[in-house]
Structure 1
Amino acid sequence: MTSVTLVDDHGRLTSYPIGAAEPLARPTGPLRSRTAFAAAHVVPLAWADNVPGAPAEIDWDATLGFRRHLWSWGLGVADAMDTAQRNMGLDAAATRELIKRSTAEARGESGFADLSDAIVVGVNTDHIDEPVIGLDRVVAGYLEQLAFAQDQGAGVVLMASRHLARAARSAEDYLTVYDRVLAEAERPVILHWLGEAFDPQLAGYFGSPDTGDASKIVLEIIGDHVARVRGIKMSLLDAEAEISLRAELPDGVRLFTGDDYNYSRLIEGDGRRYSDALLGAFAAVAPNASAAIQALDADDHDRYHALLDPTEALARQIFATPTFYYKTGVAFLSWLNGHQPSPAMVGGLHSARSLPHLSEIVRLAIDANALTAPDLAAARWHGFLALNGIEAVS
Structure 2
Amino acid sequence: MIRLPETGGGVREYAPRTEPLTPGGGGPLTSRTVFSAAHVVADPYADTTPDSPAAVDWDATLAFRHHLWSHGLGVAEAMDTAQRGMGLDWTGAAELIRRSAAEAKAVGGRIACGVGTDQLAGSDRLTGPAGLAAVRKAYEEQLALVEETGSQAILMASRALAAAASGPEDYLDLYGHLLRQASEPVVLHWLGPMFDPALDGYWGSGDLDTATETFLEVIAAHPDKVDGIKVSLLDARREVELRRRLPEGVRCYTGDDFHYPELIAGDEQGFSHALLGIFDPLAPLAAEAVRALDTGDVNGFRAVLDPTVALSRHLFRAPTRFYKTGVVLLAWLAGHQDHFTMVGGLQSARSLPHLAKAYELADGLGLFPDPALAESRMRSLLTVQGGL
Q: Secondary structure at the match of 1:44?
A: coil
Give, in whole Å, the separation in 2 of the partners of 1:121 and 1:200. 22
Quick check: 1:120 aligned with 2:117? no
How much has 1:213 moved relative to structure 2?
1.0
Residue aligning to 2:317: 320
How much has 1:300 moved relative to structure 2?
1.5
Match of 1:375 among 366, 372, 381: 372
| Deviations, residues 160-209 of structure 1 (Å, cap 9, x unaligned) | 00010001111111001101111110100000000010000000100111
Cα contact 1:51–1:346 (8 A) shared by 2:
no
TM-score for both structures, normalised by structure 2: 0.96
Cα contact 1:268–1:274 (8 A) shared by 2:
yes
Letter of the 1:302 counterpart: N
Residue aligning to 1:256: 253
How much has 1:306 moved relative to structure 2?
1.5
Q: Secondary structure at the match of 1:127?
A: helix
Residue aligning to 1:75: 73
Alpha-carbon distance change, 269 to 50 in structure 1, aligned in 2, over 3 angstroms: farther
Give, in whole Å, the separation in 1 of the partners of 2:151 and 2:124. 28
Give, in whole Å, the separation in 2 of the partners of 1:45 and 1:146. 28
Quick check: 1:244 aligned with 2:241? yes
Q: Secondary structure at the match of 1:47?
A: coil
Quick check: 1:5 aligned with 2:3? yes
Give, in whole Å, the separation in 2 of the partners of 1:367 and 1:284. 14
Sequence identity of aligned pairs in percent? 50
Residue aligning to 1:95: 93
Give, in whole Å, the separation in 1 of the partners of 2:46 and 2:323. 23
Structure 1 vs Structure 2 CA RMSD = 1.1
Give, in whole Å, the separation in 2 of the partners of 1:38 and 1:5. 32
Match of 1:132 among 125, 139, 146: 125
TM-score for both structures, normalised by structure 1: 0.95
How much has 1:261 moved relative to structure 2?
0.5
Q: Secondary structure at the match of 1:122?
A: strand
| Deviations, residues 58-104 of structure 1 (Å, cap 9, x unaligned) | 00010000000000000000010000001101012111100000000
How much has 1:9 moved relative to structure 2?
2.2
Output aligned runs, 1:294-373, within 5 Å.
Answer: 294-373=291-370
| Deviations, residues 321-367 of structure 1 (Å, cap 9, x unaligned) | 00000000110000000001101100000100000000110111122
Letter of the 1:290 counterpart: A
Letter of the 1:44 counterpart: A
Residue aligning to 1:25: 24
Cα contact 1:310–1:367 (8 A) shared by 2:
no
Is there any run of 5+ residues in structure 1 with no aligned partner, and where?
Answer: 113-117
Residue aligning to 2:182: 185
Quick check: 1:174 aligned with 2:171? yes
Residue aligning to 1:115: none
Residue aligning to 2:211: 214
Match of 2:45 among 44, 47, 51: 47
Q: Secondary structure at the match of 1:190?
A: strand
Residue aligning to 1:274: 271
Q: Secondary structure at the match of 1:285?
A: helix
Residue aligning to 2:57: 59
Give, in whole Å, the separation in 2 of the partners of 1:380 and 1:213. 48
| Deviations, residues 226-284 of structure 1 (Å, cap 9, x unaligned) | 11100000000111110010000000000000000110000000132000000000001
Q: Secondary structure at the match of 2:59?
A: helix
Q: Secondary structure at the match of 1:369?
A: coil
Q: How many residues align?
A: 382
Is there any run of 5+ residues in structure 2 with no aligned partner, and where?
Answer: none
